[in-house]
Amino acid sequence: PSWVKLVRVGQTISAYRSGDGVAWTFVGSDSFSMGASVYVGLAVSSHDNAIVSTATFDNVTITR
């Protein structure tokens, strides 16, 4: 299992990862035009049409 955190500040999204949800490692960031409101979601893909993928998401939090 891994933790993923995305942080938006203005027009920049920064990504972090963690093995325990406490200590975070910066992965990278990107800046692009966004409206004041954005939609977020979770997805999984096998990248192979012949294989079905499943995933479990827990401890999901969206803060403003």
What's the pTM? 0.73
pLDDT band at 59 (very low <50, low <70, confident <90, very high): confident
CA atoms of 41 and 20, how far apart (whole Å): 22
pLDDT in tens, 6-52: 999 999 999 999 999 999 999 999 999 998 888 888 999 998 999 99
Residue predicted with more confidence, 1 or 2: 2
Per-residue pLDDT at 62: 84
Rg for the chain (alpha carbons), in Å? Answer: 14
Which residue has better confidence, 2 or 23? Answer: 23
